[in-house]
Chain A
Amino acid sequence: MTWEALAGQTLSGISVGMVLFLIAAGLSIIFGTLKVLNLAHGSLYMTGSFLCYGLTSLLSQIPGAYWWALLFAPILVAVLGGIIEIFLLRRIYDQEMLYQYILTFALILILGDACKFLFGVGYQTVAAPWPVNGKVFLWGLSFPVYNLFLIGCGLAVFLGLIVLMRYTALGRNVRAVTYNREMANALGINVPKVYTGVFMLGSYLAGLAGTLMPPMSVVALGSDMAVIIECFIIVVIGGLGSLPGAFLGAIILGLLNAFGIYIIPKLAVAFAFMLMIVVLIIRPWGLLGKPE
């Protein structure tokens, strides 16, 4: 492996990891607060990427169509998430976990076929938009600018989320609800509103990831399931409910995928699963999670 290939793989591994981080962070925040493992989170991501494709082709006459899509597609996904939380999830919080799984599983089927109906079965592509297309040369090696842009976005969202959670009144309310739902309710925090808000935030992150990914890969059906399984691995490695954990897990998984393909192409997928199993056995609460 040459230096150039090594650097290239590292960069693309980390940038894919950043996109996965956005989805896993949403999944993790939702699980932390609502105690719901949203199996349909990958479907929200896929919906976001199809919306990105739809909006960019709809607005193709307008300059900077992609940036408009980047603005609106995640918001639409967040609204969709809000609808899901208010009309479906809210009714089964007090039920057994099984029903949450099954309900969110049903959403995978519904959203998957809805995307198929609205956007067709073909593979779609979205070109990387102007200032972040092309390549940049550093230390004699060339890197796609878009990958650097993704890494920047991931870092910005990571820091933004940490600030939001730790240093704002909003984040304090969310943490209070996460810590003790009844007590927070007694202290006058509107718990259902926090739940809806957190679910919408998680959905927004999934939609954002869905919008950021297409210029680097393709928009296709089936990405929902591929992504959700990778996100499970990330949150299990990092610790369910932990933001820094999701960040670390995403980078590990991104690098593992990028280099696994080089070493044993056929078993690249299995590597990640094996890592997840090892973590679950040795440190079931994840690398950066807290034991219950």
Chain B
Amino acid sequence: MTKNFATKVFSIGFWLIVSAIFLLTLPLFLQASWVSLINEMLIMALAGTALNLMLGYGGMVSFGPAGLYAVGAYTTAILLTRYGLPFPLAVLAAPLAAAAVGLIVGWFCVRRSAVYFALLTLAFAQIIWTVIFEWYDFTGGDNGIVSIPIPELLYSITHVYYFSLAVVTVCLFLLWKIVHSPFGTTLQAIRENPMRAEFIAVHVRRYQLAVFVLSSFFLGVAGSLFCVFAGSVFPDYAHWVKSTDMLVVCLLGGIYHFAGPIVGSGVYILISKIISKNTTYWMFFLGIIVVILVLYMRNGLVGFAAEKLAQMKNRSEVKKNKDVP
């Protein structure tokens, strides 16, 4: 038993070290276009994990993560361009603004569950999109905000990459801590059975609001990172298509595993780049992929792999037991 546990830890630790070495050294041997692709994956991994805090751990289906993501991106963009705030402040303000908006939106949304919760999140995301799209004087409307004054240090893609890597790593670590804290466990209890959770004196709504705000906070970080990376922001960031991207990332990787959205993000962005290079109808193929996922691989890539691993382990153990006379 202890040995099994040790091998498991070893394997997770082993993979963490391998990926850390790869991520830390990759700008040395990869082309700039690949580095920016991986940068995109990192940001999407953070956004996906933030959404999954609600989706996988809280069991709350949100259709509007892109709205909060856009709040983060626009906060950084507007503070830098219009008010000329120092860069660190502008970046730090983004998650706070997103969390504040998340608090207001979440306060309304957690009053209803299931279908109504999903519809409310969609409605609020559309409102955010409309505000961004129509408020020309402040947000630039559909022209977006371009040539945002990013510090010179972050002009090169390598530096932006390391900046994103550092921030994403810290955030993922925090999310990991949240998920594995008593708070995270309570959250999963609520997902499994809200009524029973209420019976053991858990304030379900308060927990759901808390997770909504936390999720918004990290979505804001992701949005701000994307703003720094792209150097511009557009209303598209708040569009429902972006929300779909995030949902698909979670589903592709598997919503019941912490690593799900991270793996999902890498695979999804790679696939979408390959498909969209070859055809203009890539939404069609994306749709087909999602249908196949829903029908045949509901636990996503990570869930699928974990299942297969468990089966293999079982089989080898059965074999071992047979060998013993």
Q: Residues on A close to B: CB < 8 A?
A: 31, 37, 88, 91-92, 95, 97-99, 101-103, 105-110, 112-114, 116-117, 225, 229, 232-233, 236, 240, 266-267, 269-270, 273, 276-277, 280-281, 284
CB contact list, B282-297 vs A, under 8 A: 282-284, 286-288, 290-291, 293-295
Chain A nearest CB, measured from B109 CB (Å):
9
Return chain A residues, CB-CB under 8 Å to B316: none
Return chain B residues, CB-CB under 8 Å to A103: 290-291, 294-295
A105-B244 contact given A88-B295, A232-B119, CB 8 Å threshold:
yes
Which of A98, A101, A240, A273 has the largest number of chain B CB atoms within 10 A? A98
Using A97-B61, A113-B287, A267-B130 as known contacts, list a sample of 9 further A-B pairs with CB atoms less than 8 Å apart, ordered by residue number in A. Answer: A31-B115, A105-B247, A106-B290, A106-B294, A109-B284, A109-B287, A109-B290, A110-B284, A117-B281
User: In the complex, A88 Cα to B288 Cα: how many Å?
Assistant: 12
Give A108's nearest chain B residue, CB to CB.
B287
Return chain A residues, CB-CB under 8 Å to B63: 101
User: In the complex, A280 Cα to B107 Cα: how many Å?
Assistant: 13
Return chain B residues, CB-CB under 8 Å to A95: 298
User: In the complex, A9 Cα to B118 Cα: how many Å?
Assistant: 33
> B120 near A280 (CB under 8 angstroms)?
yes
User: In the complex, A233 Cα to B130 Cα: how many Å?
Assistant: 15
Chain B count of residues within 8 A CB distance of the other chain: 39
Identify whether the interface residues of A are mostly helix, strand, loop, or mixed.
helix
A269-B290 contact given A97-B115, A101-B118, A280-B116, CB 8 Å threshold:
no
User: In the complex, A107 Cα to B295 Cα: how many Å?
Assistant: 13
User: In the complex, A245 Cα to B127 Cα: how many Å?
Assistant: 24
Q: Which 7 A-B pairs have the closest CB atoms?
A: A109-B287, A113-B284, A110-B287, A106-B290, A106-B287, A109-B283, A266-B134
Return chain A residues, CB-CB under 8 Å to B248: 102
Return chain A residues, CB-CB under 8 Å to B281: 113, 116-117
> A114 near B284 (CB under 8 angstroms)?
yes
Return chain B residues, CB-CB under 8 Å to A117: 281, 284
B8 at the A interface (CB under 8 A)? no
B114 at the A interface (CB under 8 A)? yes
User: In the complex, A37 Cα to B286 Cα: how many Å?
Assistant: 21
A102-B294 contact given A97-B115, A229-B122, A281-B111, CB 8 Å threshold:
yes
Return chain B residues, CB-CB under 8 Å to A267: 130, 134
Return chain A residues, CB-CB under 8 Å to B114: 97
Chain B nearest CB, measured from A29 CB (Å):
15
> A236 near B119 (CB under 8 angstroms)?
yes
> B295 near A91 (CB under 8 angstroms)?
yes
> B115 near A37 (CB under 8 angstroms)?
yes
User: In the complex, A113 Cα to B288 Cα: how many Å?
Assistant: 11
One digit per residue, 1 when the CB lies within 8 angstroms of any chain A CB and 0 when it does not, for chain B 29-42 equals: 00000000000000
Chain A nearest CB, measured from B72 CB (Å):
21
Return chain A residues, CB-CB under 8 Å to B284: 109-110, 113-114, 117
A88-B291 contact given A113-B284, A273-B123, CB 8 Å threshold:
yes
Return chain A residues, CB-CB under 8 Å to B119: 37, 232, 236, 280
> B283 near A240 (CB under 8 angstroms)?
no
Give A107's nearest chain B residue, CB to CB.
B287
Return chain A residues, CB-CB under 8 Å to B287: 106-110, 113
CB contact list, B106-157 vs A, under 8 A: 108, 111-112, 114-116, 118-120, 122-124, 126-127, 130-131, 134
> A276 near B111 (CB under 8 angstroms)?
no
Return chain A residues, CB-CB under 8 Å to B130: 267, 269-270, 273
> A276 near B123 (CB under 8 angstroms)?
yes
B240 at the A interface (CB under 8 A)? yes
* CB-contact partner of B127 in A97, A107, A109, A273, under 8 A: A273
Give B127's nearest chain A residue, CB to CB.
A273
Can you name 7 A-B pairs with beta carbons within 8 Å?
A102-B248, A102-B251, A107-B291, A109-B290, A233-B123, A236-B119, A269-B130
Return chain A residues, CB-CB under 8 Å to B222: none
User: In the complex, A103 Cα to B287 Cα: how many Å?
Assistant: 8
* CB-contact partner of B283 in A91, A97, A112, A284, under 8 A: A112
> B295 near A270 (CB under 8 angstroms)?
no
> A92 near B120 (CB under 8 angstroms)?
no
User: In the complex, A37 Cα to B118 Cα: how many Å?
Assistant: 10
Give B251's nearest chain A residue, CB to CB.
A102
B204 at the A interface (CB under 8 A)? no
User: In the complex, A5 Cα to B183 Cα: how many Å?
Assistant: 58
User: In the complex, A262 Cα to B2 Cα: how many Å?
Assistant: 72
> B295 near A277 (CB under 8 angstroms)?
no
